[in-house]
Chain A
Amino acid sequence: MYAQEVKSTGQGVKSLEEMAPDERAFQEKVNAKIKIEPKDWMPEGYRKTLVRQISQHAHSEIVGQLPEGNWISRAPTLERKAILLAKVQDEAGHGLYLYCAAETLGVSRDQMTEQLLAGKAKYSSIFNYPTLTWADIGAIGWLVDGAAIMNQVPLQRCSYGPYSRAMIRICKEESFHQRQGYDIMMKLCAGTAEQKEMAQDALNRWWQPALMMFGPPDGDSVHSAQSMAWGIKQNSNDELRQKFVNETVPQAEYLGLTPPDPDVNWNEDKQGYDYGELDWNEFYEVLKGNGPCNKERLEARQKAWDDGEWFRDGLMAHARKREMRKQAAE
C-alpha cells in the first residue's frame, strides 16, 4: 500500500517494435516475469516511478507510526500495550526495508527524508486522520492494514527484485497486524454498549478513508497503464477496492457493525457488493495537505529530525575521534 498517486514519468506505453534494443530487452524480461535487479539496465522513467512509489511507501510506514503510537501509553491492558508496541515497531522496520530498497535505485535515505519534510514527497492520506478512541486502533488494524495487504500482496510480484522481496517480508507481518486489529474490534463488539458504540463510530470514520487508500478511480488514474506494462502495478485501483469491499462487508456483519454507506448492497450479477460514491474532493484536499492531521504529522517528523541532530552529529564526532586515535596509535 500506501502509494496512492504515483505519477509515472513514462511517455505512454510503447510497443516492443518502437523500443531501442536496451529497452526492448528490459521489457521482454519484465514480460517473462524475470526480476529486474539494481545493476540491470532500466528506463529512466521506470527508475523514477519506482523511487517515488517505494519512498512514498516507506514514508507512509514512518508517518504511520504516529497515529497508532499515540495510543501506546493508553493501551488498556499490558498485553494490548505489548501488541501495539510490536506493531508500531514493525512499521518502523518496514520503513527501513523500503528505504533500503529505494537506496538500490540511487537515492539516499537522507535525501528521501528531506523530501518528506519539505512536503515534496507524499505519504498515504490515511495517516492524516486522527485516532480519537481505542476503537480506532482496532479499526486501523482491521481496515487500514487490511487495505494495505490487499494492495501489497500483488506487489510481491513486482518486476523490481528488491521491492518485491521487501514486500514478501512485509506482507507476512501485515497479516498479523490485521488480525490484532480485528481482535480488538471483536472484544469491543462483545463488550458493553459503550464499547460497541465506540467500535461503530470508528468504522464510521475509517470506512471511507480506507477505501480511498486504493487511489482515485481507474478513469482518473492516468499513469496506471505504464506502471502495469512495467510490472510495477498488477491490478487497477478499482479492482482492488472492490475486492476489499467484498471481504470487509461480511467481516463488519460478523461484528454486528454496519458500514456507513446506505448503498452497500450485495449485487448478485457482479457477485460483489455495490458501494456508494466516495468523496474524492476530500481525498485530494488531504493529499494537498489539508487533512485533519497533515500539519501535526509533518511537524512531529520535523521535530524528531531537528531534535535528533545533536545525537547524529555526536555519534559522527565520536567515530572521527576513534579513527584519529587509531591512526595515532599506528
Chain B
Amino acid sequence: MANDTLVRELALRMGDNTLILGQRVSAWCGHAPVLEEDIALANVALDFIGQTRLWLGLAADLGVEDDADALAFLRDARAFKNCLLVEQPNGDFAHTLMRQFLFDAWHLPMLAALKQSSDRRVAEIAEKSAKEAAYHLERSEDYVVRLGDGSDESHARMQAALDTLYPFAGELTTPDANDEAFAEAGLAPELSVIGDIYQATLTRVLNEATLSPTTTVVRKGGKQGLHSEDFGFILADMQWLQRAYPGATW
C-alpha cells in the first residue's frame, strides 16, 4: 500500500475514534451530576472534536473528499473505522467514566508514540493532541479510583461498567493487517508495545480502585467498519441536517 493510503487509513482510525467519542460525551452537556462536570465533559468533547478536525482534515487531504466535514457527515456506517469501545452508549455516569478511562489509557501512549511517526503530518497532530489526552487520562483515572473505592453503590456501578465495557478494550491493542503495515512503515508504534503500557495502567488503576475485570472476551470489528447496532443511530442523529439538505452550507 502506498504511504499516503496508509496515512489516510491511520488518520481515519484516529479521527473516527475522537469523533464518535466526542459525539457521545457531548450528550452530557446540561445533564451531568454536578455543574463542574457539565463544564469538564464539554471540555473533553471539545478537545475530541478539535482533534477530529485535524485527523479527518488530513484524511480528506489524502482522499477525494472536500474536507473533514464530508468525512464526518457523509460517510455511511461501514466506512467508519473507530473501535467499538467509543460507540458504546453513555449509560449511567459510571459507564461514561469507565469508557473514557479505557480509551484515555490507550490514547495517551498511542499519541505519545505517534509523535515519533515517520510522517510529519501525523507527528504534528499527535504532538498537539497528546497534551489534551494527558489531562483526560489524569481526570478519568482519578474518578475511576475515587468511585471504585467510594461508596458501596459507586463501587457496584463502576464494577458493572467495567464488566460491560472491558470486552471492548482489547480491540484497541489487538493489531490487524493495517496496524502491522503502519508499524512496518514507521507511521505508528507496534500495538503490542502500546498494549503493555495499557495493561500496566489498567492494572495499577483498577487495583487502586478495588475493581477487577471478570472476563477475557475481546469484542472487535470497528476498525473494519463492523459496528454495533447503536452505531447507525449515532449517524442518524449526527448527520441528519447534512443529509436532509444536500449541498447546503451552514
Interface residues of A (CB under 8 A from B): 62, 65-66, 69, 72-82, 85-86, 88-89, 92-93, 95-96, 99, 109, 134, 184, 187-188, 191-192, 194-195, 300, 303-305, 307-319, 321
**Nearest 4 pairs between A and B by C-beta?**
A308-B33, A314-B154, A314-B150, A65-B30
Interface residues of B (CB under 8 A from A): 19, 23, 26-27, 29-39, 42-43, 45-46, 49-50, 52-53, 56, 68-69, 72-73, 92-94, 145-147, 149-151, 153-155, 157, 237-238, 240-242, 245, 247-250
Q: How many A-B residue pairs have CB under 8 A?
A: 152
- A184 to B248 alpha-carbon distance, docked (Å): 13
In chain B, what residue has the closest Cβ to A321? Answer: B149
Instruction: Note all chain A residues with C-beta closer than 8 A to B50.
Output: 82
A-B contact pairs, 8 of them (CB 8 A): A66-B30, A78-B49, A78-B56, A85-B49, A89-B39, A89-B46, A99-B35, A109-B35
Q: Give min CB distance, B1 to chain A, whole Å.
A: 27
Instruction: Note all chain A residues with C-beta closer than 8 A to B150.
Output: 313-318, 321
The one of A65, A81, A192, A195 in contact with B38, judged by C-beta atoms closer than 8 angstroms, is: A65
- A69 to B45 alpha-carbon distance, docked (Å): 13
- A88 to B68 alpha-carbon distance, docked (Å): 23
- A311 to B153 alpha-carbon distance, docked (Å): 9
Contact A314 B241 (CB under 8 A): no
Contact B250 A194 (CB under 8 A): no
Contact A81 B245 (CB under 8 A): no
Instruction: Note all chain B residues with C-beta closer than 8 A to A69.
Output: 29-31
Instruction: Note all chain A residues with C-beta closer than 8 A to B151.
Output: 310, 313-314, 316-318
Q: A307 and B93 in contact (CB under 8 A), knowing A88-B42, A313-B151, A317-B150?
A: yes
Q: A89 and B43 in contact (CB under 8 A), knowing A307-B33, A314-B146?
A: yes
In chain A, what residue has the closest Cβ to B157? Answer: A310
The one of B45, B68, B241 in contact with A74, judged by C-beta atoms closer than 8 angstroms, is: B241
12 new A-B contacts at CB < 8 Å, known A85-B46, A192-B245, A317-B150: A62-B35, A69-B29, A72-B29, A73-B27, A96-B39, A109-B35, A134-B241, A191-B248, A305-B33, A307-B92, A313-B154, A318-B147
Q: Give min CB distance, B22 to chain A, whole Å.
A: 8
Instruction: Note all chain A residues with C-beta closer than 8 A to B240.
Output: 74
Q: A195 and B46 in contact (CB under 8 A), knowing A69-B30, A308-B32, A311-B154?
A: no
Q: Give min CB distance, B28 to chain A, whole Å.
A: 9
Q: Give min CB distance, B211 to chain A, whole Å.
A: 13
Chain B residues touching A, majority SS:
helix
- A314 to B73 alpha-carbon distance, docked (Å): 39
Instruction: Note all chain B residues with C-beta closer than 8 A to A313.
Output: 150-151, 153-154
Instruction: Note all chain A residues with C-beta closer than 8 A to B39.
Output: 89, 92-93, 96
Contact B249 A187 (CB under 8 A): yes
Most buried by B among A77, A86, A191: A77
- A303 to B109 alpha-carbon distance, docked (Å): 36
Q: A311 and B33 in contact (CB under 8 A), knowing A78-B68, A92-B39, A191-B248?
A: yes
In chain B, what residue has the closest Cβ to A311? Answer: B33
- A238 to B87 alpha-carbon distance, docked (Å): 50
Q: A303 and B31 in contact (CB under 8 A), knowing A73-B23, A80-B250, A310-B153?
A: yes
Q: A76 and B241 in contact (CB under 8 A), knowing A89-B46, A318-B147?
A: yes
In chain B, what residue has the closest Cβ to A187? Answer: B250
Instruction: Note all chain A residues with C-beta closer than 8 A to B42.
Output: 85-86, 88-89, 92
Q: A77 and B35 in contact (CB under 8 A), knowing A72-B27, A192-B245, A195-B245?
A: no
- A85 to B146 alpha-carbon distance, docked (Å): 27
Q: Give min CB distance, B125 to chain A, whole Å.
A: 15
Q: A77 and B69 in contact (CB under 8 A), knowing A191-B248, A308-B93, A310-B151?
A: yes
Instruction: Note all chain B residues with C-beta closer than 8 A to A96.
Output: 35-36, 39
- A209 to B47 alpha-carbon distance, docked (Å): 34
Instruction: Note all chain B residues with C-beta closer than 8 A to A319.
Output: 146
Instruction: Note all chain A residues with C-beta closer than 8 A to B157.
Output: 310, 314
- A268 to B241 alpha-carbon distance, docked (Å): 43
Instruction: Note all chain B residues with C-beta closer than 8 A to A192.
Output: 245, 247-248
Most buried by A among B31, B35, B92: B35
